[in-house]
């Protein structure tokens, strides 16, 4: 017989996935802001709106290599009867043509070069023939009319003064590039959360050490580290703690400077699940157990002012709980899902949200099969989770919500 916990619970139990996320968000510290150089901005969250300091393009410019001219001069141009224009100069990227293009005239132009005064159209180099041996100077023959569509208008992408990026945006590579184009050398960001990771369990051994029967390598910590980094957090790996209340208390007490601690293991129903006991003793439990599978035993509490999220030890459970509860709370971004058609049936559970491992092939999603929460290969092979709401079910061809794990 194991005693699940010493006192009747004074905290919420069996919360929903959504409630678990909300309770975690409430425990996280107010985010400080930090201005960083663009080169360090990738993966961070923007802390304020960003305005364009300049327009892009900064001048109306050519989208092609060719010549700039007046469209009206070229309307009759064809391969049989090319139109001849007189070349009066060139406009290159970074060095505009200073004069004006008049009737019957053209300027050689290159991609990104400002469209000269007087010109309103481009004829691409592929549609030109050289015609330079004439008394009236250098010229070109146009095999088709010049096109006003081959210019990029000043401010056509964004105008100076426009708010282009919004506070809360995750700085993806495309957004970092956009911030650069807006004219910002540095950007205000949320300081990353510092997240400590500690595995627990007498059987948990570091990879590289010899393993005896009954022991297991610490895989959770490494999966979590990757997921934390991918979520833009600063991850700190702590040594694994044994299943002893004293050792665990010692390990918890010696953590300095983290915004939150993620533990793995020790929050289930067993006698040796001491993370659970310590958090209950400490009296700051926000919830224990979530109506989900896998991942049901998860617990949230506090230890001397430090929020502690107790992930279940089962490898699949710990990574799934991280993905669907912890990650959205840490990043402030909603869980990202897509709708796909079921290629196999997916069952639901009466009183739990199920996250079934699944494989995406084309526009369909298929049950991975082995749904045990200790099957480590499954997450790596499957790559996706199908979300089946409480009491739901899907037949082949039904649309289902899917979380991509990679
Ligand atoms: P627990 O939640 O502590 O009862 O652990 C549940 C299962 O997960 C047990 O089979 C543990 O051996 C396994 N486990 C716990 N921690 C880890 C870890 N860090 N890496 C891999 N497996 C683990
Ligand atoms: Mg354990």
23 ligand 1 Cβ < 6 A: no
CA–CA dist 346, 30 (Å, integer): 40
CA of 231 to the centre of ligand 1 (A): 23
Tell me the pLDDT band of 6, cut-offs 50, 70 and 90. Answer: low
* Per-residue model confidence as pLDDT tens digits over 203-229: 999 999 999 999 999 999 999 999 999
User: Rounded to 5 degrees, what angle do the CA atoms 234, 201, 215 make?
Assistant: 115
Q: What's the pLDDT at 347?
A: 96
Q: What's the pLDDT at 376?
A: 87
Residues with CB under 5 A from ligand 2 (ion): 201, 265-266, 313
Count how many Cα atoms sit within 13 Å of the Cα of residue 385 in the half-sphere of its side chain.
Answer: 27
CA–CA dist 290, 65 (Å, integer): 61
* Per-residue model confidence as pLDDT tens digits over 388-402: 999 999 999 999 999
DSSP state of 156: S
| The dihedral sign for the CA sequence 218, 353, 363, 172 | negative
The class of domain 13-29+193-321 in CATH terms is alpha beta
Return the percentage of the chain with pLDDT > 70, whole number: 98
CA of 314 to the centre of ligand 1 (A): 5
The class of domain 36-56+156-190 in CATH terms is alpha beta
- Report the atom number in ligand 1 closest to the C-alpha of 203: 12
User: Residue of the nearest CA to atom 10 in ligand 1?
Assistant: 314
* Per-residue model confidence as pLDDT tens digits over 222-235: 999 999 999 999 99
Q: What's the pLDDT at 5?
A: 58
Count how many Cα atoms sit within 13 Å of the Cα of residue 99 in the half-sphere of its side chain.
Answer: 12
Tell me the pLDDT band of 375, cut-offs 50, 70 and 90. Answer: confident
Q: Is the pLDDT of residue 162 over 90?
A: yes
What's phi and psi for 160, nearest 5 deg?
-55, 135
Tell me the pLDDT band of 316, cut-offs 50, 70 and 90. Answer: very high
* Per-residue model confidence as pLDDT tens digits over 19-35: 999 999 999 999 999 99
Return the percentage of the chain with pLDDT > 90, whole number: 91
- Pocket probe for ligand 1: among 209, 214, 240, 314, the residue whose CB has the most ligand atoms within 8 Å is 314
Q: What's the pLDDT at 167?
A: 97
Domain ranges of the chain: 13-29+193-321, 36-56+156-190, 61-152, 338-404
Q: What's the pLDDT at 137?
A: 79
Query: Which stretch of DSSP H or E encloses residue 382?
Result: helix 376-382
Look up the pTM and report it: 0.86
Q: Which one, of 6, 1, 4, 2, lies nearest residue 281 by Cα?
A: 6
Q: What is the mean pLDDT of residues 140-149?
A: 97
Q: Which of 1-10, 94-103, 250-259 has the lowest mean pLDDT?
A: 1-10
User: Residue of the nearest CA to atom 23 in ligand 1?
Assistant: 313
DSSP string, 240-298: PB-S-HHHHHHHHHT--S-SEEEEES--SSSTT-HHHHHHHHHT--SEEEESEES-TT-
Distances (CA, A) of 326 to 183, 189, 380, 384: 34, 20, 19, 17
Q: Is the pLDDT of residue 380 over 70?
A: yes
Supply the mean pLDDT for the chain.
95
* Per-residue model confidence as pLDDT tens digits over 72-120: 999 999 999 999 999 999 999 999 999 999 999 999 999 999 999 999 9
* Per-residue model confidence as pLDDT tens digits over 262-281: 999 999 999 999 999 999 99
Q: Is the pLDDT of residue 314 over 80?
A: yes
189 ligand 1 Cβ < 6 A: no
Counting DSSP H helices and E strands in the chain, the numbers are 8, 27
CA of 188 to the centre of ligand 1 (A): 40
220 ligand 1 Cβ < 6 A: yes
Q: What's the pLDDT at 136?
A: 73
Tell me the pLDDT band of 157, cut-offs 50, 70 and 90. Answer: very high
Which listed ligand is nearest to 265 at the C-alpha? 1
Query: Which stretch of DSSP H or E encloses residue 383?
Result: strand 383-388
Tell me the pLDDT band of 200, cut-offs 50, 70 and 90. Answer: very high
373 ligand 1 Cβ < 6 A: no
Q: Is the pLDDT of residue 7 over 70?
A: no
Query: Which stretch of DSSP H or E encloses residue 311?
Result: strand 306-311
CA–CA dist 114, 135 (Å, integer): 29
CA of 240 to the centre of ligand 2 (A): 11
127 ligand 1 Cβ < 6 A: no
Q: What superfamily in CATH does domain 61-152 come from?
A: Molybdopterin biosynthesis moea protein, domain 3. (2.170.190.11)
Q: Does 2.40.340.10 match the CATH number of domain 338-404?
A: yes
Tell me the pLDDT band of 3, cut-offs 50, 70 and 90. Answer: low
Q: Which residue's structure tokens are 């665990």?
A: 248
Q: What's the pLDDT at 50?
A: 98
Domain 36-56+156-190 identical in fold to domain 338-404: no
């Amino acid at each position: 017989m194991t005693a699940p916990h010493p006192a009747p619970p004074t905290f919420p139990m069996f919360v929903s996935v959504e409630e678990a996320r909300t309770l975690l968000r409430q425990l996280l510290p107010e985010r400080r802001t930090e201005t960083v150089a663009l080169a360090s901005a990738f993966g961070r969250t923007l802390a304020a709106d960003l305005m364009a300091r300049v327009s892009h393009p900064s001048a109306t410019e050519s989208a092609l290599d060719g010549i700039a001219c007046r469209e009206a001069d070229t309307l009759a141009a064809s391969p049989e009867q090319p139109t001849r224009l007189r070349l009066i100069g060139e406009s290159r990227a970074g060095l505009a043509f200073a004069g004006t293009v008049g009737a019957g005239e053209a300027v050689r132009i290159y991609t990104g070069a400002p469209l000269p005064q007087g010109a309103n159209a481009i004829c691409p180099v592929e549609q030109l023939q050289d015609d330079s041996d004439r008394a009236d100077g250098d010229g070109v023959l146009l095999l088709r009319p010049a096109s006003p569509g081959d210019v990029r208008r000043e401010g056509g992408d964004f105008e100076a003064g426009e708010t282009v990026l919004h506070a809360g945006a995750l700085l993806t590579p495309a957004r970092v590039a956009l911030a650069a184009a807006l004219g910002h050398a540095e950007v205000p960001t949320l300081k990353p959360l510092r997240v400590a990771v500690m595995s627990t369990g007498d059987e948990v051994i570091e990879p590289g050490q010899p393993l005896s029967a009954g022991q297991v390598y610490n895989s959770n910590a490494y999966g979590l580290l990757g997921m934390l980094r991918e979520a833009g957090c600063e991850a700190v790996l702590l040594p694994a703690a044994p299943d002893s209340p004293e050792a665990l208390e010692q390990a918890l007490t010696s953590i300095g400077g983290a915004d939150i601690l993620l533990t793995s293991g020790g929050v289930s129903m067993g006698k040796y699940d001491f993370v659970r006991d310590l958090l209950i003793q400490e009296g700051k439990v926000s919830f224990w157990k979530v109506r989900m599978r896998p991942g049901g035993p998860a617990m949230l509490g506090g230890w001397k002012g430090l929020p502690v999220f107790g992930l279940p030890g089962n490898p699949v459970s710990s990574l799934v709980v991280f993905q669907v509860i912890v990650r959205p709370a840490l990043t402030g971004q909603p869980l990202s899902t897509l709708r796909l058609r079921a290629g196999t049936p997916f069952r639901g559970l009466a009183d739990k949200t199920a996250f079934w491992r699944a494989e995406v092939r084309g526009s369909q999603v298929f049950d991975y099969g082995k749904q045990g929460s200790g099957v480590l290969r499954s997450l790596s092979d499957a790559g996706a989770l199908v979300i089946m709401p409480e009491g739901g079910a899907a037949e082949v061809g039904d649309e289902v919500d899917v979380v991509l794990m990679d």
